[in-house]
Structure 1
Amino acid sequence: MNEQVNKSLSTLEILIAQLQSMWEGIIALLPSLVIAIAFLIFTWIVAKFAIRISDKLTAKTSMRPSLRELVDTLVKIAIWTVGLLVSLTILLPDLTPGSLVAGLGIGTVAIGFAFQDIFENFLAGILIMAREKMRIGDYVKCEGIEGKVEQILLRETHIRKPSNELTIVPNSVLFKNPIEILTDQQQRRHEIVVGVSYDTDLEQARTVIREGVQSTDVVDSEKPVDIFACEFNSSSVDFKLRWWSGSAQRDMHESRDFVIRSVKRALDDADIEIPFPYRTHIFKEPLPISSSGD
């Protein structure tokens, strides 16, 4: 019985000694902890002023907004990386730069496997911001996603659909897949198909269609209007019309509206018919022959 009591007392004494040692270590670490926290606060202040200085410097250049944001982010990351490393060195004096770099290397590999998608989107965001194409305000199409680019962040891009819904797209999707930038230039080419009946003089129809297209103000008069006879359809000879107008999505809808109405009006004035697709099929089948011979 006495032996069990002695063992319990010795275990309790060891536990108390360990707790006392830990408390003494915490007390001894307090000055370094306070200095490390103070240095982190100093790092936050320096990063804040550095970003302001970076904004003022980049504002004087012709850099794109997305590239300015990238510069601000890289400045912030660099300052905070140095601040955290210095704070760790203050808090743990035995931590040498060599061991810290080695630990970061092993940790980076482990974190890289765990957060592969996050880092992939992060690097894709940096590359998207750095390249000249796809600016904020561009109208883009990619993997069934279509809309106006509102914001480019390091991990994701915000695209506003024409119906006003917001789509948040991971940057890796935009970087790895083909993307159409419809507003890369001020103008782009639009096209429609219009058909005329088979008894129409095609040269006259071409002239009338051209006059109808060129009579609208939304068509760029400095670039050619193409009118090609492209197909013998079931009820019409089809012309493909191509013209140049604004590249914005609304410009496309407005120019198509004006061109279609103007061409229809010109063809009507010239008494040129735009046939219905089914007109040649009416009474096309032969009448049945009565078996009685009537």
Structure 2
Amino acid sequence: MTTATASRADEGLNQTFDTVATLQDQFVQMADGFVRALPGFAIALGILILTWIAARIAVRVTNRVLDRTDLRPGLENLVKTLVKLAIWIGGLMIAAVVVMPGLTPASLIAGLGIGAVAIGFAFQDIFENFLAGVLIMLRKKMRIGDIIECEGIAGKVEHITLRETYVRKLSGEVTLVPNSMLFKNPVEILTDETQRRHEVIAGVSYDTDLDHAAKVIRAAVQGVETVDADKGIDVFAVEFNASSVDFKVRWWAGSKPRDMWESKDKVIRAIKSALDDAGIEIPFPYVTHTFKEAIPLGSGDKN
């Protein structure tokens, strides 16, 4: 082995030793820093536990205060959520400052602002639903318990969170609807009032006295117990149909879907019975055939 080769080998060995020594020093420094940070982590953990306890106590106190008010259930959920969120944000900020003493509240808030922009782009849909949930809870319409229809989804509003709304279908299934969908699309609230107007079509034959038929139908509807006669009953002749003159009958009754079906059932039964008693025909559809030439009615030629 030449002197130059031996020298290069020694240099390589020395570099290896230097690298190992550097790694050892860094590991020792990291371990030392971790040990020194343990008290801070313990204090931060204690702060988080206290934050959890404080949040639970705050929610209970908020519940007691809200029970004395007339706030809507959705708005109550929003207040409780905001109280819990504010306490947790404060606790997390204090814990972060304890773990990293060089972190000041000002720098933490600035970092949160920059991070919020990045997170906002990454989780745009989530924040959109969050904001929509806040706005839905703030507005007066669409309360918990209402029957709604939106984009083909119909059912009872059971629960409203900051991200989604639980809609229980009339057949029993529950649908989790994103709040942005309910906020950006038209929502039909069927139970906004205790009553709404319902209607059916009733047909009578062409040889019927329409004024008499209208009186019979009106009297029949007025006699139904589920109908609010004080709000008026409408009986309009609306169409010359293929085999009948059709009346549109409108009345006011309960707004819930079951109220509607029960009321329609009783109204249709009452109209049918009243027309039968008055001798007014409810015709079946029939077809009239017209021929250019007369059709012989005889038996024809015999062979």
What TM bracket, shorter-length normalisation?
over 0.9
Report deviation, 1:288: 5.5
- Aligned positions, number: 288
Report deviation, 1:24: 0.8
Report deviation, 1:250: 0.5
1:38 corresponds, among 46, 64, 84, to 46
For the pair 1:28 / 2:13, whether they are aligned, the reply is no
Aligned to 2:105: 97
Aligned to 1:53: 61
Report deviation, 1:289: 5.9
For residue 291 of structure 2, what is the amino acid of its counterpart? P
Report deviation, 1:106: 1.0
1:6 match: secondary structure: helix
In 1, the alpha carbon distance for the partners of 2:172 and 2:41 equals: 50
For residue 108 of structure 1, what is the amino acid of its counterpart? A
1:110 corresponds, among 118, 130, 136, to 118
Which range moved further: 182-191 or 92-101? 92-101
| Structure 2 gaps, min length 5 | 1-8
In 2, the alpha carbon distance for the partners of 1:129 and 1:82 equals: 24
Which range moved further: 247-256 or 227-236? 227-236
Report deviation, 1:3: 2.1
For the pair 1:144 / 2:149, whether they are aligned, the reply is no
2:75 corresponds, among 57, 67, 71, to 67
TM-score by length of 1: 0.95
In 1, the alpha carbon distance for the partners of 2:64 and 2:28 equals: 54
In 1, the alpha carbon distance for the partners of 2:42 and 2:159 equals: 39
- Give runs of aligned pairs for residues 143-292 of structure 1, distance below 5 A: 143-277=151-285, 279=286, 281-282=287-288, 284-286=289-291
For the pair 1:11 / 2:19, whether they are aligned, the reply is yes
Q: Is the 8 A contact 2:229 2:251 kept in 1?
A: no
In 1, the alpha carbon distance for the partners of 2:176 and 2:39 equals: 46
| Structure 1: 4+ residue segments shifted above 6 A | none
Report deviation, 1:141: 0.6
Which range moved further: 32-41 or 12-21? 32-41
